[in-house]
Structure 1
Amino acid sequence: MLVCLTAHQRTTPLEALERLSVVGEAAATELTGAHDTIRGAVVLSTCNRFEAYFDLADGPDDVSPVPAMDAAVQRLAELADLPFRDVRETVDFAHGNRVARHLFAVASGLDSVAVGEDEIAGQVRRALDAARRDGVSTAPLEHLFQRATETSRAVKNSTQVGESGRSLVRLAIELAGSRVGAWERARVLLIGTGRYAAASLAALRAVGAVDIRVHSRSGNDRFARREHLTTVEAADLDAELADADVIVTCTTTTDTYAVTTEDHARARRACTSTQLIVDLGMPRNVDPGIRSLPGVELLDLDTIRVHAPIDDLATLGEAHLIVQTAAMRHAMARRVHEVSPAVVDLRAHVQAVLDGELERVRGAASADVEAALRHFAGVLLHGLIAQGHGLAATGAGAAWADAVRTVLPADRAGAAEPTASGDSS
């Protein structure tokens, strides 16, 4: 059974989402060990969501996944240093085919603040890669995430969702545009050289910003040299914080705020110009109290979420139909896969009986007779297996597998043990 726990900026307080984001994708190993029935886990952690996908061991139909998920929430609460009840009330829970439908929508950018964003598909792939490296991925999770990537491509190729290269970073820069005016004359300070820095820089250059300086809290200047940017050293940071028209923060450093109210007030004590700060960090890079400083406006993830544009409903409806169809196909494929052991046993049994009979009459039967017998066996198997696949697609595959196990000799029915018949997609 596949299960997921999700926390999203739209439904989760930013403070709680910050604590969860610190846990990161490395939590997959910890969460896998939270309960005996958890066979694997993939964690997807971005600037506006934290999600954990689980593969639970199959059991009787009436066995609930809730104990395993409660154990996972408990472990997650410990890792995030949050009360269990807070996490339990914060995360959404899904199982069965809702998991596929949700992940496919996420990978396609349909569940993002900036609908159709480019980055999320890559983040979904990297989450699976991290689980593989940590040895906590499983075949059902692999299939789920691979289908999610395929669905993302289908949505992008078949609809207008994402055609403009949207992203949370681009949305933030677009929202900042009305406050900045002429980007080509703006002095911009970029704080951070991590995974979001390149996207932030591209978005700034796309709107015409040219005077861009970069500060790395770790002192890493490779990004600045590669992009031909002016490096701001720690000793010069206060002066740049004061002089910048726009400050964009996208650092993943989580120990302290990159820009604090006290330090920024000191740096700008003699400034009268207005300044816009765009905080794209998760956890937040900028002290929210900075809004109290005169002339300083803060545009953070909460503000961006509130002002995100509403997309064309027809386009979104078309995209969601693609996602729904892909999720249904994934469920059918999973159900058909459940009867595969019984199919293998049935084929082996019929083939063994046929070979035995042909060997018994070897020399007495003509080539035409042998061909006719093999054709007959093939037609017989095709009908029975097609019936099994059809029943499996409706959720009744376990009954067909039980019937195969009943009629086959004991030495041929070992692999036909039925699995849980619930919707395990």
Structure 2
Amino acid sequence: MQRFAEGVASDQAGCPETPTSPTRKPPDLSVVAFGFSHRTASLPLLERVSMAGDAVGKVLRQLSEAEPVLGAVVLSTCNRTEVYLDAERFHDSYEIARDVLADHADLPRGEVGDHLAVYYDGEAVEHLFGVAAGLDSAVLGEHEILGQVRRAWLRARDEGTVTPTIDLLFRHAVEVGKRARSETAIGRGSASVGQIAVELAEARLGGLAGRRALVLGAGAIAATVTGALASRRPGDLVVVNRSRARAEALAAAHAGRSASLGDLGRELAAADLVVTCTGASEVMLEADVLAAAVDAGRQGAPLVVVDVALPRDVDPGARGVPGIELHDLDDLRRFAAATLAQRERAATQARELVAIAVASHLGERRARQAAPVVAGLRRWAEELRNAELERHRAKLGGLGEAELDAVDALTRSIVNKLLHGPTLALKDGAGTPRGDRLVEAVSDLFGLDD
């Protein structure tokens, strides 16, 4: 499996092992995850496979409508694009996920497959729980990822692609993420992309007090950035967004001001710092626009630009523009690695919490599926046994109490032995598509749903 930014990734505490190779497979499959993250893919590749809005709905439908996939959730953030499937046949599921993602990104299937990380069943559960807990983030313990996991789950619910297995998985993932932040110190300090972006800018400019800062965007990350900037007491804080109303609301919440996209050129020329964090699918700041801002009477003062969007808001070619100091998500990860030690001890506690939660989740998943059917099957068999004993009681009239007890014990033993194999099969297959088929077959054969 190819890995991206390996040197940076190796510094991240609490990270899962290298993703599973698709050449290995379990005998039965339930939850399987495929995707890309900052550990396995370059920033340009992450940019190509990222998705939002209608694209997410389209991919969810393509995945869930393909046999043998039963349900799907898509998680796409600035650090990862992953699909979580309730599926049956491993290699078919792998090919479906690879092909759908390749078509979405308009990339060769071979290139997508080379970078596609794979996790199945218990590994997929552990991976998602670690993601929700902030253990797999570029910024260890970051805050935004938990909300992103929850929104991905709710979006799949809205699209009708969530199965009971997937629903239980994501409900537990959100619970684990909350516990990791409330029961450990993993989220304390600068644990968000927005906060780290502001700290990077602060380090590059030697402080932000009195500086002129511009935020491009008005979403969740923009709100974090604006709040972090406001706490540094800048001389001017302006929010620019396509929706002027949203820009005004965000700016007003932090004693700043708003501006329209039409005023962006003038605002850039006056700024010392620009942080871009829109959800746009196209470049928002071309290199020539930034070059014009530098030329507009800045008198040699550099313009620091921090792009935390994916896809990127800023033309990468702006790195070559004199007077522009451009930083993107790769730079942010390197900067964040330097502050990692503060949360390493908390990561150990969070990993232990995740391990316990994974075992609990798998146990509950099995119990939810197998227990009611096993109980129903045994109840049906016991009722049948008692009915047959009662029907033949007249023929057993010559037997004494000891002999009748022996007959009762014998018939009970026969029933238990007959049910032993089916009971084990139901329990062993619980939580997998094979288990689903067994539950359905047993229920139909013995009329347990009646």
TM-score, normalised to structure 2's length? 0.76
What 5-or-longer segments of structure 1 have no aligned partner?
58-63, 362-372, 417-425
**Deviation, structure 1 residue 77:** 0.8
1:339-377 C-alpha deviation (Å, 9 max, x unpaired): 23122221344356568989999xxxxxxxxxxx9xx99
**Deviation, structure 1 residue 7:** 0.6
1:107-143 C-alpha deviation (Å, 9 max, x unpaired): 0001001111111111111111000100111100000
The aligned amino acid for 1:265 is A
**Deviation, structure 1 residue 392:** 8.3
The aligned amino acid for 1:322 is L
Distance in 2 separating the partners of 1:25 and 1:215: 26
**Deviation, structure 1 residue 260:** 1.0
Distance in 1 separating the partners of 2:273 and 2:344: 34
The answer to whether the 8 A contact 1:184-1:210 is kept is: yes
**Deviation, structure 1 residue 202:** 1.7
Distance in 1 separating the partners of 2:272 and 2:302: 7
The answer to whether the 8 A contact 2:251-2:257 is kept is: no
Distance in 2 separating the partners of 1:410 and 1:12: 46
The aligned amino acid for 2:277 is C
Residue 346 of structure 1 corresponds to 378
Distance in 2 separating the partners of 1:174 and 1:267: 23
1:132 is the counterpart of 2:160: no
User: Between Structure 1 and Structure 2, how many residues are aligned?
Assistant: 381
User: Secondary structure in 2 aligned to 1:339?
Assistant: helix
The answer to whether the 8 A contact 1:190-1:213 is kept is: yes
The aligned amino acid for 1:319 is A
Residue 220 of structure 1 corresponds to 244
The aligned amino acid for 2:276 is T
Residue 15 of structure 1 corresponds to 44
TM-score, normalised to structure 1's length? 0.80
User: Secondary structure in 1 aligned to 2:32?
Assistant: strand
Residue 324 of structure 1 corresponds to 355
Q: Please, which of 253, 263, 271 is the counterpart of residue 280 of structure 2?
A: 253
1:413 is the counterpart of 2:446: yes
Residue 327 of structure 2 corresponds to 299
**Deviation, structure 1 residue 337:** 3.2
The answer to whether the 8 A contact 1:25-1:127 is kept is: no
1:167-205 C-alpha deviation (Å, 9 max, x unpaired): 111112112211123322010111112332212212222
Distance in 2 separating the partners of 1:168 and 1:397: 39
Residue 369 of structure 1 corresponds to none
Q: Please, which of 205, 230, 244 is the counterpart of residue 180 of structure 1?
A: 205
Residue 209 of structure 1 corresponds to 234
Distance in 1 separating the partners of 2:355 and 2:122: 10
Distance in 2 separating the partners of 1:145 and 1:69: 21
Distance in 2 separating the partners of 1:267 and 1:203: 25
User: Secondary structure in 1 aligned to 2:49?
Assistant: helix
Distance in 2 separating the partners of 1:396 and 1:294: 63
Q: Please, which of 168, 173, 176 is the counterpart of residue 151 of structure 1?
A: 176
Distance in 2 separating the partners of 1:316 and 1:219: 39
Distance in 1 separating the partners of 2:429 and 2:281: 50
Instruction: Please list, as runs of the form range in 1=range in 2, the aligned pairs for 1:88-167 lying within 5 A after superposition.
Output: 88-164=113-189, 166-167=191-192
Distance in 2 separating the partners of 1:234 and 1:316: 41
The aligned amino acid for 2:302 is T
Q: Please, which of 307, 328, 334 is the counterpart of residue 279 of structure 1?
A: 307
Distance in 1 separating the partners of 2:261 and 2:430: 65
The aligned amino acid for 1:345 is L
RMSD value, Cα = 3.3
The aligned amino acid for 1:413 is F
Distance in 1 separating the partners of 2:160 and 2:245: 33
